[in-house]
Structure 1
Amino acid sequence: MQIPFSEKPGRHERHYRRRLDNPLFESPAQLSDEALLEAQRLDHEELVAFVEELRQVVARAAALKPKEESEVVLTLKADLERLYETAAGLADEQGANQEAIEHLLGAILRTIRANAEGDALAAQELGMEAQARALHFRLLEQPLVADLLHPETLIGPEELVPTLLSESEAAVGAALQLFDPAQRAQLAADARTLLMVRDPEARLEQAWARLAQIEATLSAPD
Protein backbone atom coordinates (compact mmCIF):
# COMPACT_ATOMS: atom_id res chain seq x y z
CA MET A 1 0.00 0.00 0.00
CA GLN A 2 1.23 3.50 -0.79
CA ILE A 3 0.02 6.35 1.37
CA PRO A 4 -0.85 9.45 -0.71
CA PHE A 5 0.88 12.75 -0.09
CA SER A 6 -1.21 15.49 1.49
CA GLU A 7 -2.58 18.18 -0.81
CA LYS A 8 -1.60 20.83 1.74
CA PRO A 9 1.08 19.27 3.95
CA GLY A 10 2.38 20.55 7.25
CA ARG A 11 6.01 21.22 8.07
CA HIS A 12 6.94 17.60 8.89
CA GLU A 13 5.60 16.22 5.63
CA ARG A 14 7.06 19.16 3.69
CA HIS A 15 10.53 18.48 5.03
CA TYR A 16 10.18 14.75 4.46
CA ARG A 17 9.19 15.39 0.86
CA ARG A 18 11.98 17.88 0.15
CA ARG A 19 14.50 15.30 1.44
CA LEU A 20 12.93 12.45 -0.53
CA ASP A 21 15.62 10.91 -2.77
CA ASN A 22 17.31 14.32 -2.83
CA PRO A 23 21.08 13.96 -3.42
CA LEU A 24 21.71 17.45 -2.03
CA PHE A 25 20.99 16.21 1.50
CA GLU A 26 23.57 14.29 3.47
CA SER A 27 20.89 11.76 4.43
CA PRO A 28 18.14 11.73 1.78
CA ALA A 29 14.78 10.34 2.89
CA GLN A 30 13.53 7.11 1.35
CA LEU A 31 9.94 6.58 0.25
CA SER A 32 8.19 4.78 3.08
CA ASP A 33 4.56 4.55 4.13
CA GLU A 34 5.67 4.45 7.76
CA ALA A 35 7.78 7.60 7.51
CA LEU A 36 5.09 9.49 5.61
CA LEU A 37 2.38 8.44 8.07
CA GLU A 38 4.53 9.56 10.98
CA ALA A 39 5.12 12.96 9.38
CA GLN A 40 1.39 13.35 8.74
CA ARG A 41 0.60 12.29 12.31
CA LEU A 42 2.95 14.92 13.72
CA ASP A 43 1.43 17.56 11.45
CA HIS A 44 -2.06 16.59 12.63
CA GLU A 45 -1.00 16.86 16.27
CA GLU A 46 0.31 20.38 15.66
CA LEU A 47 -2.92 21.32 13.90
CA VAL A 48 -5.05 20.07 16.80
CA ALA A 49 -2.89 21.95 19.32
CA PHE A 50 -3.13 25.13 17.24
CA VAL A 51 -6.93 24.96 16.99
CA GLU A 52 -7.21 24.58 20.75
CA GLU A 53 -4.86 27.48 21.46
CA LEU A 54 -6.64 29.67 18.92
CA ARG A 55 -9.94 28.91 20.63
CA GLN A 56 -8.47 29.99 23.97
CA VAL A 57 -7.02 33.21 22.55
CA VAL A 58 -10.32 34.09 20.88
CA ALA A 59 -12.04 33.61 24.24
CA ARG A 60 -9.51 35.95 25.87
CA ALA A 61 -10.13 38.55 23.18
CA ALA A 62 -13.89 38.31 23.69
CA ALA A 63 -13.41 38.85 27.42
CA LEU A 64 -11.43 42.09 27.06
CA LYS A 65 -12.77 44.95 29.16
CA PRO A 66 -13.52 48.34 27.53
CA LYS A 67 -10.49 49.87 29.27
CA GLU A 68 -8.26 46.84 29.61
CA GLU A 69 -4.72 47.13 31.00
CA SER A 70 -2.17 47.76 28.26
CA GLU A 71 -0.07 44.75 29.28
CA VAL A 72 -3.04 42.44 28.76
CA VAL A 73 -3.76 43.95 25.34
CA LEU A 74 -0.13 43.77 24.20
CA THR A 75 0.20 40.17 25.34
CA LEU A 76 -2.91 39.26 23.37
CA LYS A 77 -1.54 41.04 20.29
CA ALA A 78 1.74 39.13 20.54
CA ASP A 79 -0.12 35.83 20.88
CA LEU A 80 -2.25 36.57 17.82
CA GLU A 81 0.82 37.45 15.75
CA ARG A 82 2.52 34.23 16.86
CA LEU A 83 -0.57 32.18 16.01
CA TYR A 84 -0.71 33.76 12.54
CA GLU A 85 2.88 32.68 11.96
CA THR A 86 2.08 29.20 13.24
CA ALA A 87 -0.96 28.91 10.96
CA ALA A 88 1.21 29.72 7.95
CA GLY A 89 3.12 26.47 8.41
CA LEU A 90 0.27 24.11 9.29
CA ALA A 91 -1.32 21.37 7.25
CA ASP A 92 -4.62 21.87 5.44
CA GLU A 93 -6.15 25.18 4.36
CA GLN A 94 -5.58 27.85 7.01
CA GLY A 95 -6.86 30.90 5.14
CA ALA A 96 -10.02 31.19 7.24
CA ASN A 97 -8.08 30.94 10.50
CA GLN A 98 -5.57 33.54 9.33
CA GLU A 99 -8.40 35.88 8.32
CA ALA A 100 -9.97 35.45 11.76
CA ILE A 101 -6.64 36.21 13.42
CA GLU A 102 -6.16 39.31 11.26
CA HIS A 103 -9.67 40.47 12.16
CA LEU A 104 -8.92 40.15 15.88
CA LEU A 105 -5.55 41.82 15.41
CA GLY A 106 -7.27 44.73 13.68
CA ALA A 107 -9.59 45.21 16.65
CA ILE A 108 -6.67 45.04 19.10
CA LEU A 109 -4.62 47.51 17.07
CA ARG A 110 -7.50 49.97 16.91
CA THR A 111 -7.61 49.89 20.71
CA ILE A 112 -3.86 50.45 20.92
CA ARG A 113 -3.99 53.35 18.46
CA ALA A 114 -6.88 54.93 20.37
CA ASN A 115 -4.87 54.72 23.59
CA ALA A 116 -1.91 56.37 21.84
CA GLU A 117 -3.95 59.25 20.42
CA GLY A 118 -2.11 62.52 20.83
CA ASP A 119 1.29 60.83 21.18
CA ALA A 120 3.12 61.54 17.91
CA LEU A 121 6.06 59.26 18.71
CA ALA A 122 3.80 56.35 19.63
CA ALA A 123 1.79 56.86 16.45
CA GLN A 124 4.98 56.81 14.38
CA GLU A 125 6.17 53.62 16.06
CA LEU A 126 2.80 51.97 15.48
CA GLY A 127 2.97 52.91 11.81
CA MET A 128 6.44 51.39 11.43
CA GLU A 129 5.31 48.28 13.27
CA ALA A 130 2.32 47.94 10.94
CA GLN A 131 4.60 48.08 7.88
CA ALA A 132 6.91 45.43 9.36
CA ARG A 133 3.94 43.21 10.20
CA ALA A 134 2.53 43.51 6.68
CA LEU A 135 5.90 42.50 5.20
CA HIS A 136 6.23 39.61 7.64
CA PHE A 137 2.76 38.29 6.82
CA ARG A 138 3.49 38.60 3.11
CA LEU A 139 6.67 36.53 3.49
CA LEU A 140 4.67 33.91 5.40
CA GLU A 141 2.66 33.24 2.25
CA GLN A 142 5.60 30.95 1.45
CA PRO A 143 5.49 27.92 3.80
CA LEU A 144 9.30 27.72 3.68
CA VAL A 145 9.47 30.97 5.64
CA ALA A 146 7.23 29.52 8.34
CA ASP A 147 9.36 26.37 8.38
CA LEU A 148 12.54 28.39 8.90
CA LEU A 149 11.04 30.60 11.62
CA HIS A 150 9.43 27.80 13.62
CA PRO A 151 10.93 27.67 17.16
CA GLU A 152 11.58 23.96 16.64
CA THR A 153 12.47 24.14 12.96
CA LEU A 154 13.25 20.85 11.26
CA ILE A 155 15.75 22.60 8.98
CA GLY A 156 19.03 22.42 10.85
CA PRO A 157 22.13 24.44 9.86
CA GLU A 158 23.46 21.53 7.82
CA GLU A 159 20.20 21.30 5.86
CA LEU A 160 19.63 24.99 5.19
CA VAL A 161 21.55 25.14 1.91
CA PRO A 162 20.14 21.86 0.50
CA THR A 163 16.67 23.10 1.43
CA LEU A 164 17.08 26.45 -0.33
CA LEU A 165 18.46 24.76 -3.44
CA SER A 166 15.43 22.44 -3.52
CA GLU A 167 12.70 25.09 -3.28
CA SER A 168 10.88 27.26 -5.82
CA GLU A 169 12.09 30.67 -6.95
CA ALA A 170 9.29 32.41 -5.03
CA ALA A 171 10.00 30.48 -1.83
CA VAL A 172 13.72 31.22 -1.94
CA GLY A 173 13.09 34.87 -2.78
CA ALA A 174 11.00 35.21 0.36
CA ALA A 175 13.35 33.16 2.54
CA LEU A 176 16.41 35.21 1.56
CA GLN A 177 14.81 38.28 3.11
CA LEU A 178 15.34 36.63 6.49
CA PHE A 179 19.13 36.88 6.07
CA ASP A 180 21.48 39.85 6.13
CA PRO A 181 24.05 40.45 3.34
CA ALA A 182 26.86 38.62 5.15
CA GLN A 183 24.65 35.60 5.74
CA ARG A 184 23.52 35.56 2.12
CA ALA A 185 27.14 35.67 0.98
CA GLN A 186 27.91 32.65 3.15
CA LEU A 187 24.84 30.84 1.84
CA ALA A 188 25.95 31.49 -1.73
CA ALA A 189 29.47 30.21 -1.05
CA ASP A 190 28.19 27.10 0.73
CA ALA A 191 25.64 26.44 -2.01
CA ARG A 192 28.25 26.64 -4.76
CA THR A 193 30.56 24.31 -2.85
CA LEU A 194 27.76 21.82 -2.27
CA LEU A 195 26.73 21.77 -5.92
CA MET A 196 30.30 21.39 -7.14
CA VAL A 197 30.62 18.32 -4.92
CA ARG A 198 27.16 16.75 -5.34
CA ASP A 199 26.37 17.77 -8.92
CA PRO A 200 29.60 18.58 -10.80
CA GLU A 201 27.93 17.87 -14.15
CA ALA A 202 25.16 20.39 -13.39
CA ARG A 203 22.30 17.97 -13.95
CA LEU A 204 20.18 19.48 -11.18
CA GLU A 205 19.01 22.48 -13.18
CA GLN A 206 16.65 23.84 -10.53
CA ALA A 207 19.34 23.74 -7.86
CA TRP A 208 21.79 25.66 -10.05
CA ALA A 209 19.05 28.18 -10.84
CA ARG A 210 18.53 28.72 -7.10
CA LEU A 211 22.27 29.23 -6.68
CA ALA A 212 22.18 31.91 -9.39
CA GLN A 213 19.22 33.49 -7.62
CA ILE A 214 21.07 33.58 -4.29
CA GLU A 215 24.22 34.99 -5.88
CA ALA A 216 22.21 37.67 -7.69
CA THR A 217 21.15 39.10 -4.33
CA LEU A 218 24.78 39.76 -3.40
CA SER A 219 25.07 42.59 -5.89
CA ALA A 220 21.49 43.82 -5.56
CA PRO A 221 20.82 46.84 -3.33
CA ASP A 222 19.01 46.05 -0.05
Structure 2
Amino acid sequence: MRIPFSELPGRHERHYRRRLDNPLFDPPAVADDEALLEVQRLDHEELLAFITELRQTVSRAVALKPREETEVVLQLKEDLERLYETSCGLADEQGANKQAIEHLIGAILQTVRANAEGDALAVQELAMEEQARALHFTLLQQPLVADLLHPESLIDREALVPTLLSESEEAVAAALTLFDDAQRGELAREARALLASRDPERRLPEAWARLAQIEEGLPAPN
Protein backbone atom coordinates (compact mmCIF):
# COMPACT_ATOMS: atom_id res chain seq x y z
CA MET A 1 0.00 0.00 0.00
CA ARG A 2 1.26 3.47 -0.89
CA ILE A 3 -1.17 5.41 1.32
CA PRO A 4 0.04 5.60 4.94
CA PHE A 5 -2.19 4.76 7.88
CA SER A 6 -3.28 7.63 10.12
CA GLU A 7 -1.41 8.08 13.39
CA LEU A 8 -4.70 8.74 15.19
CA PRO A 9 -7.40 7.09 13.07
CA GLY A 10 -11.15 7.51 13.36
CA ARG A 11 -13.66 4.71 13.72
CA HIS A 12 -13.88 3.86 10.01
CA GLU A 13 -10.15 3.43 9.60
CA ARG A 14 -9.88 1.57 12.92
CA HIS A 15 -12.45 -0.96 11.79
CA TYR A 16 -10.79 -1.33 8.39
CA ARG A 17 -7.44 -1.95 10.05
CA ARG A 18 -8.76 -4.49 12.56
CA ARG A 19 -10.29 -6.43 9.63
CA LEU A 20 -7.19 -6.15 7.46
CA ASP A 21 -5.93 -9.67 6.61
CA ASN A 22 -7.62 -10.89 9.80
CA PRO A 23 -8.88 -14.48 9.39
CA LEU A 24 -11.36 -14.03 12.23
CA PHE A 25 -13.48 -11.75 10.05
CA ASP A 26 -15.64 -13.05 7.24
CA PRO A 27 -14.55 -11.69 4.91
CA PRO A 28 -11.32 -10.03 6.05
CA ALA A 29 -10.41 -6.68 4.54
CA VAL A 30 -7.65 -6.67 1.94
CA ALA A 31 -4.90 -4.10 1.52
CA ASP A 32 -6.21 -1.50 -0.90
CA ASP A 33 -5.25 2.16 -1.26
CA GLU A 34 -8.70 3.20 -2.47
CA ALA A 35 -10.41 1.48 0.46
CA LEU A 36 -8.04 3.16 2.91
CA LEU A 37 -8.59 6.58 1.34
CA GLU A 38 -12.34 6.07 1.55
CA VAL A 39 -12.37 5.24 5.26
CA GLN A 40 -10.05 8.18 5.93
CA ARG A 41 -12.43 10.42 3.99
CA LEU A 42 -15.38 9.22 6.06
CA ASP A 43 -13.47 9.87 9.27
CA HIS A 44 -12.59 13.38 8.08
CA GLU A 45 -16.24 14.11 7.27
CA GLU A 46 -17.28 12.98 10.76
CA LEU A 47 -14.61 15.20 12.28
CA LEU A 48 -15.83 18.24 10.34
CA ALA A 49 -19.44 17.56 11.31
CA PHE A 50 -18.42 17.23 14.96
CA ILE A 51 -16.51 20.52 14.95
CA THR A 52 -19.51 22.29 13.42
CA GLU A 53 -21.90 20.88 16.02
CA LEU A 54 -19.49 21.59 18.87
CA ARG A 55 -19.22 25.25 17.86
CA GLN A 56 -23.00 25.53 17.66
CA THR A 57 -23.39 23.92 21.08
CA VAL A 58 -20.77 26.19 22.64
CA SER A 59 -22.69 29.17 21.24
CA ARG A 60 -25.86 27.86 22.90
CA ALA A 61 -23.99 27.54 26.19
CA VAL A 62 -22.66 31.09 25.97
CA ALA A 63 -26.17 32.38 25.22
CA LEU A 64 -27.75 30.80 28.32
CA LYS A 65 -29.76 33.25 30.39
CA PRO A 66 -28.99 33.65 34.12
CA ARG A 67 -32.28 31.95 35.00
CA GLU A 68 -32.68 29.69 32.01
CA GLU A 69 -35.43 27.08 31.96
CA THR A 70 -34.40 23.76 33.45
CA GLU A 71 -35.34 21.83 30.31
CA VAL A 72 -33.07 24.00 28.18
CA VAL A 73 -30.14 23.53 30.57
CA LEU A 74 -30.59 19.76 30.83
CA GLN A 75 -30.89 19.40 27.05
CA LEU A 76 -27.66 21.32 26.62
CA LYS A 77 -25.93 19.06 29.15
CA GLU A 78 -27.22 15.98 27.33
CA ASP A 79 -25.95 17.31 24.00
CA LEU A 80 -22.53 18.02 25.49
CA GLU A 81 -22.30 14.52 26.94
CA ARG A 82 -23.18 13.08 23.54
CA LEU A 83 -20.52 15.25 21.89
CA TYR A 84 -17.95 14.03 24.40
CA GLU A 85 -18.84 10.45 23.55
CA THR A 86 -18.49 11.27 19.85
CA SER A 87 -15.14 12.99 20.35
CA CYS A 88 -13.64 9.84 21.87
CA GLY A 89 -14.08 7.97 18.60
CA LEU A 90 -12.85 10.65 16.20
CA ALA A 91 -9.64 10.89 14.22
CA ASP A 92 -6.79 13.19 15.29
CA GLU A 93 -6.04 14.53 18.75
CA GLN A 94 -9.23 15.48 20.59
CA GLY A 95 -7.81 16.26 24.02
CA ALA A 96 -8.52 19.99 23.84
CA ASN A 97 -12.08 19.46 22.61
CA LYS A 98 -12.79 16.90 25.33
CA GLN A 99 -11.40 19.22 27.97
CA ALA A 100 -13.57 22.09 26.70
CA ILE A 101 -16.68 19.90 26.76
CA GLU A 102 -15.95 18.72 30.30
CA HIS A 103 -15.47 22.33 31.38
CA LEU A 104 -18.88 23.30 29.96
CA ILE A 105 -20.57 20.31 31.58
CA GLY A 106 -18.97 21.27 34.90
CA ALA A 107 -20.26 24.84 34.59
CA ILE A 108 -23.78 23.59 33.85
CA LEU A 109 -23.66 21.20 36.80
CA GLN A 110 -22.73 24.07 39.10
CA THR A 111 -25.97 25.77 38.09
CA VAL A 112 -27.97 22.56 38.49
CA ARG A 113 -26.48 21.91 41.94
CA ALA A 114 -27.23 25.47 43.01
CA ASN A 115 -30.86 25.03 41.96
CA ALA A 116 -31.06 21.74 43.87
CA GLU A 117 -29.68 23.18 47.11
CA GLY A 118 -31.90 22.22 50.02
CA ASP A 119 -33.32 19.17 48.23
CA ALA A 120 -31.36 16.27 49.73
CA LEU A 121 -32.74 13.70 47.29
CA ALA A 122 -31.91 15.84 44.26
CA VAL A 123 -28.39 16.45 45.56
CA GLN A 124 -27.88 12.72 46.09
CA GLU A 125 -29.14 11.90 42.60
CA LEU A 126 -26.80 14.49 41.10
CA ALA A 127 -23.84 12.98 42.96
CA MET A 128 -24.70 9.50 41.69
CA GLU A 129 -25.09 10.83 38.16
CA GLU A 130 -21.68 12.51 38.33
CA GLN A 131 -20.04 9.27 39.47
CA ALA A 132 -21.67 7.35 36.62
CA ARG A 133 -20.60 10.01 34.12
CA ALA A 134 -17.01 9.95 35.37
CA LEU A 135 -16.88 6.16 34.97
CA HIS A 136 -18.46 6.36 31.53
CA PHE A 137 -16.00 9.02 30.37
CA THR A 138 -13.11 6.92 31.68
CA LEU A 139 -14.27 3.88 29.69
CA LEU A 140 -14.60 6.05 26.58
CA GLN A 141 -10.87 6.70 26.60
CA GLN A 142 -10.65 3.27 24.98
CA PRO A 143 -11.63 3.89 21.33
CA LEU A 144 -13.20 0.42 21.16
CA VAL A 145 -15.83 1.50 23.69
CA ALA A 146 -16.61 4.61 21.65
CA ASP A 147 -16.83 2.45 18.52
CA LEU A 148 -19.25 0.03 20.18
CA LEU A 149 -21.48 2.78 21.58
CA HIS A 150 -21.67 4.87 18.41
CA PRO A 151 -25.31 5.14 17.22
CA GLU A 152 -24.19 3.89 13.79
CA SER A 153 -21.55 1.48 15.03
CA LEU A 154 -19.60 -0.38 12.37
CA ILE A 155 -19.25 -3.30 14.77
CA ASP A 156 -22.45 -5.22 14.14
CA ARG A 157 -23.42 -8.45 15.87
CA GLU A 158 -21.45 -10.60 13.43
CA ALA A 159 -18.34 -8.46 13.83
CA LEU A 160 -18.50 -8.20 17.63
CA VAL A 161 -16.70 -11.43 18.55
CA PRO A 162 -13.94 -11.10 15.91
CA THR A 163 -13.43 -7.52 17.08
CA LEU A 164 -13.09 -8.46 20.75
CA LEU A 165 -10.63 -11.21 19.86
CA SER A 166 -8.53 -8.75 17.84
CA GLU A 167 -8.19 -5.93 20.38
CA SER A 168 -5.78 -5.27 23.24
CA GLU A 169 -6.26 -6.58 26.77
CA GLU A 170 -7.01 -3.06 28.04
CA ALA A 171 -9.57 -2.37 25.31
CA VAL A 172 -11.39 -5.65 25.90
CA ALA A 173 -11.42 -5.11 29.67
CA ALA A 174 -13.22 -1.80 29.14
CA ALA A 175 -15.57 -3.22 26.50
CA LEU A 176 -16.64 -6.16 28.67
CA THR A 177 -18.15 -3.77 31.22
CA LEU A 178 -20.84 -3.01 28.62
CA PHE A 179 -22.20 -6.58 28.80
CA ASP A 180 -24.00 -8.48 31.55
CA ASP A 181 -23.00 -12.02 32.58
CA ALA A 182 -25.48 -13.68 30.23
CA GLN A 183 -24.27 -11.65 27.25
CA ARG A 184 -20.66 -12.26 28.20
CA GLY A 185 -21.32 -16.00 28.40
CA GLU A 186 -22.79 -15.96 24.91
CA LEU A 187 -19.81 -13.99 23.62
CA ALA A 188 -17.45 -16.53 25.19
CA ARG A 189 -19.23 -19.46 23.55
CA GLU A 190 -19.19 -17.76 20.16
CA ALA A 191 -15.54 -16.76 20.56
CA ARG A 192 -14.44 -20.29 21.45
CA ALA A 193 -16.35 -21.73 18.50
CA LEU A 194 -14.89 -19.14 16.14
CA LEU A 195 -11.32 -19.80 17.24
CA ALA A 196 -11.81 -23.57 17.08
CA SER A 197 -12.98 -23.13 13.49
CA ARG A 198 -10.56 -20.46 12.23
CA ASP A 199 -7.45 -21.17 14.30
CA PRO A 200 -7.41 -24.83 15.40
CA GLU A 201 -3.59 -24.83 15.48
CA ARG A 202 -3.55 -21.79 17.78
CA ARG A 203 -1.44 -19.58 15.57
CA LEU A 204 -3.20 -16.50 16.97
CA PRO A 205 -2.04 -16.51 20.61
CA GLU A 206 -3.34 -13.00 21.31
CA ALA A 207 -6.83 -14.00 20.18
CA TRP A 208 -6.77 -17.04 22.47
CA ALA A 209 -5.63 -14.78 25.31
CA ARG A 210 -8.62 -12.53 24.68
CA LEU A 211 -10.88 -15.59 24.82
CA ALA A 212 -9.45 -16.45 28.23
CA GLN A 213 -10.07 -12.87 29.29
CA ILE A 214 -13.70 -13.02 28.15
CA GLU A 215 -14.22 -16.36 29.93
CA GLU A 216 -12.54 -15.29 33.16
CA GLY A 217 -14.97 -15.37 36.08
CA LEU A 218 -17.77 -17.02 34.11
CA PRO A 219 -19.30 -20.31 35.32
CA ALA A 220 -17.74 -23.36 33.70
CA PRO A 221 -19.86 -24.63 30.77
CA ASN A 222 -21.90 -27.76 31.43
Q: TM-score, normalised by structure 1?
A: 0.98
User: Match of 1:105, as an amino acid?
Assistant: I
The equivalent residue for 1:152 is 152
Q: Tell me the alpha carbon deviations over residues 167-200 of structure 1, each in whole angstroms, 9 at most, x when there is no partner.
A: 0000000000000110000000100000000000
The equivalent residue for 2:163 is 163
User: Match of 2:96, as an amino acid?
Assistant: A
- Write out aligned runs for 1:108-187 (5 A): 108-187=108-187
Distance in 2 between the 1:58 and 1:79 partners?
10
The equivalent residue for 2:16 is 16
Distance in 2 between the 1:58 and 1:135 partners?
24
Structure 1 vs Structure 2 CA RMSD: 0.7
Distance in 2 between the 1:92 and 1:48 partners?
11
Unaligned runs of 5+ in 2: none
User: Match of 1:35, as an amino acid?
Assistant: A
The equivalent residue for 1:4 is 4
The equivalent residue for 2:36 is 36
Post-superposition offset of 1:218: 1.9
The equivalent residue for 2:60 is 60
Q: Tell me the alpha carbon deviations over residues 76-96 of structure 1, each in whole angstroms, 9 at most, x when there is no partner.
A: 000000000000000000000
Unaligned runs of 5+ in 1: none
The equivalent residue for 2:197 is 197
Classify the secondary structure of the residue corresponding to 2:65.
Answer: coil
The equivalent residue for 2:88 is 88
Distance in 1 between the 2:12 and 2:212 partners?
28
Q: What is the number of residues matched between the two proteins?
A: 219
Post-superposition offset of 1:217: 3.7
Classify the secondary structure of the residue corresponding to 2:216.
Answer: helix
Distance in 2 between the 1:188 and 1:128 partners?
32
Post-superposition offset of 1:72: 0.2
